[in-house]
Amino acid sequence: MTEEGLGQSERLAQTLAEHNCAATKIVSSDLPRAKQTAEILTRYLRLPVVFSPDFREVNNGDLAGMDNAVAEKQYPGLYWKSLAWEQRYPNGESPKAFYERVKTAWENLLAANRDSLILVTHGGVINIILHLLNGVPYSNKNAAYKIEAAQCVEIQIKSSTNK
């Protein structure tokens, strides 16, 4: 994580602590940047954290960690927005597989948790969750929701018994 990212995570954790965040646990992607953010939150909020591969960003397979110029040379024109719905990155996920993974993980998280929690994840994952919550069909062709780094998106889910 960059120094800027560390600072953003620290400020977010401080703000949540100052406002007596009501969360009872943290669920986080197990990828390094999300993990670091969750660990910073844990220090401030003293909450248990569960790391889950289900909330990882899209698996872009052979392109993971590859410099953009190298990727363009080895895989010309292969971008997230250019993939067909069921077309996979080489050794990675398709938009459909990514969507289905996140949808299932989100539904399982909701079913297993009735308390307030913090989910630390990635922009693509949050985008899918917001599509699900707002009843907007998801497509990899354009992102309907702009998610900033270290952005806090509050989502309130009312159970059928709380309506």
- CA-nearest of 11, 29, 3, 12 to 106 is 29
Q: How far from 39 is each of 22, 25, 57, 120, 151, CA to CA, in Å?
A: 17, 12, 18, 10, 16
Cα 66 to Cα 3, 31, 60, 146: the distances in Å are: 22, 16, 10, 24
Domains and CATH numbers, the chain: 3-134 (3.40.50.1240)
Order of strands, sheet of 25-29, starting from the edge strand that comes earlier in the sequence: 49-52, 25-29, 117-120
Residue 163 has pLDDT above 50, yes or no: no
pLDDT in tens, 94-132: 999 999 999 999 999 999 988 899 999 999 999 999 999
Tell me if the pTM is above 0.85: yes
| pLDDT tens-digit series, residues 15-39 | 999 999 999 999 999 999 999 999 9
